[in-house]
A and B are shown apart, each in its own frame.
Chain A
Amino acid sequence: MRINCPYCGERDLGEFVYFGDPVPRPDPSAADAAQRFHDSVYLRDNPAGPHQELWYHAYGCRGWLRVTRDTRTHAMLGSAFASDPA
């Protein structure tokens, strides 16, 4: 598996650290904040197919990437810096 880093180019999996789903932090002042935090910390769609996920390029540019990857085949479907607009 190779990940296409927008800065470094296509690099080996061993250079990256996996974080998981890019879940936004819920609004702590919302009336149902406890439920929203539970859902964002613990619940996952866990799809079999295209999956959005965060990877950290630890042994490269140290950028955080948002990668789209097919979890059935490991095919890479796209990648961008996590700070870019989704």
Chain B
Amino acid sequence: MRYSLFALAREAFRSHRGWQPVWRDAAPRPHYDVIIVGGGGHGLATAYYLAERFGIRNVAVLEKGWIGSGNAGRNTTIIRSNYLLPGNQPFYELSMQLWESLEQQLNYNTMVSQRGVLNLFHSDAQRDAFARRGNAMLLSGADAELLDADDVRRMLPLLDFDNARFPIKGGLLQRRGGTARHDAVVWGYARGASELGVDIVQNCEVTGFVRDGDRVVGVETSRGRIGCGSVGLAVAGSSSRVAKMLGLRLPIESHLIQAFVSEGIKPLIPGVVTFGAGHFYISQSDKGGLVFGGDIDGYNSYAQRGNLPVIEDVCEGGMALMPSIGRVRILRNWAGLLDMSMDGSPIIDRAPIEGVYLNAGWCYGGFKATPASGLCFAHLIANGSSHPVATELRLDRFAAGHLIDEKGRGAQPNLH
């Protein structure tokens, strides 16, 4: 069923009794050409693009819980393409372009809102670094504007511009960046994939892999054995746990990042704003809640909940940036699991086992990458070669020394 103004009007006249389930909850069949492990945004996008772009429709997405129940529903929904390095930026700009056409492509309201992403700077040196990053963005075809303090003051008069320690000198603005509705992205891709014949199998935990010689030819699951031509892992947060079933060790540690939502207030913050002198970022949801976060907790964890020192640090960052939010009450907070890779950049590559492909290491930036991750992973699985914008996101780059370390901090995952 296609969504349109006509369909909405028709359903309004018959008390909305005609709406169909958005996607098909399938039972697993004995064999598929491709199995995608992980029913989050990346796994569903991969299945969608396999069917839509590459004509591979005999595909299953296996999800341990229900789709979108992991990190796809735990992020702060920001989309942007403001990276520096040539291994990353063209990939994220492709993702940004896919976001811009996603609703028409999927015929589904993913609430993409290009409300702008503003990174504030507080010193001359930081301005130089941001100007350099802005130029790298422009070279990749993205948009970037370097604002001075007066420009920022017109956009966000509530900020503490003359803070004694962290005066705001300006910002790097990407107007095309913004936010999208994360649950709708999951359902939009699920619907698109399902309509093209992909089986979405929920409550189906992968417990092992079936090998024929050196090759993986199927998976053992809580709903029985399922054969496959090839298998793609899209289980960021838990990649090491799944890879362990294949005898693989990955250049990844699982960490936590916390997110926070305040009570709903009137419109206050027009876009996404990041503090440059600490780690704090904030936007305002359509319901009015302030959505914000900061640093990762910094220790290995699968607990999906964080600790108080980081909460204090995040709130201090918020108070240094915009003291006016000090009386707003926090309604809830939670944590998501991160595949923190050793250089802070993702991996879309073959695994060193025939028939297995790996999509992992998304650190705290997986949501914005969802469309390009799906497209590039599908390209890799369908063609056996990397998509042109994902050629550097290799698993062997750590051994080869071709790291993609945006911050230049070395192999210490909690510093990226």
Contact = CB atoms under 8 A, between A and B. Distances in A.
A32 to B, nearest CB: 12
B337 to A, nearest CB: 10
B240 A46 contact: yes
Contacts of A53: 299-300
B301 A44 contact: no
B299 A43 contact: no
Contacts, number: 66
A52 B116 CA distance: 42
A31 B103 CA distance: 56
Given A1-B307, A42-B251, A43-B251, A51 B398 contact: no
B303 A42 contact: no
Given A18-B298, A44-B250, 18 more contacts: A12-B309, A14-B309, A20-B253, A38-B398, A41-B398, A42-B398, A42-B399, A43-B250, A44-B240, A44-B252, A46-B240, A46-B241, A46-B250, A48-B302, A51-B300, A53-B299, A71-B303, A72-B303
Nearest to A14: B309
A83 interface: no
Given A20-B412, A20-B413, A38-B398, A44 B249 contact: yes
A69 B411 CA distance: 22
Chain A interface main SS type:
mixed
Contacts of A8: none
Contact of A42 (B238, B254, B411, B414): B411
Interface residues of A, number: 23
Contacts of B252: 44, 46
A53 B300 CA distance: 9
Interface string B379-416: 00000000000000000001100000000000111100
A7 to B, nearest CB: 20
Contacts of B302: 48, 71-72
A18 B299 contact: yes
A74 B301 contact: yes
Interface of A: 1, 12-14, 18, 20, 38-39, 41-48, 51, 53, 69, 71-74
Interface in B227-256: 238, 240-241, 244, 249-254
A47 B413 CA distance: 15
Contacts of B348: none
B249 A48 contact: no
- A-B pairs, top 3 by smallest CB distance, nearest first, are A46-B240, A14-B309, A42-B251
A1 B301 CA distance: 12
Contacts of A38: 398-399
B342 interface: yes
A48 B300 CA distance: 9
A41 B254 contact: no
A71 B300 contact: yes
Contacts of B251: 42-44
Given A13-B307, A14-B309, A38-B399, A44 B298 contact: no
B309 A42 contact: no
Nearest to B238: A48
A20 B254 contact: no
A69 to B, nearest CB: 8
B341 to A, nearest CB: 9
Nearest to B403: A42
Interface string B288-315: 0000000000111111000111001000
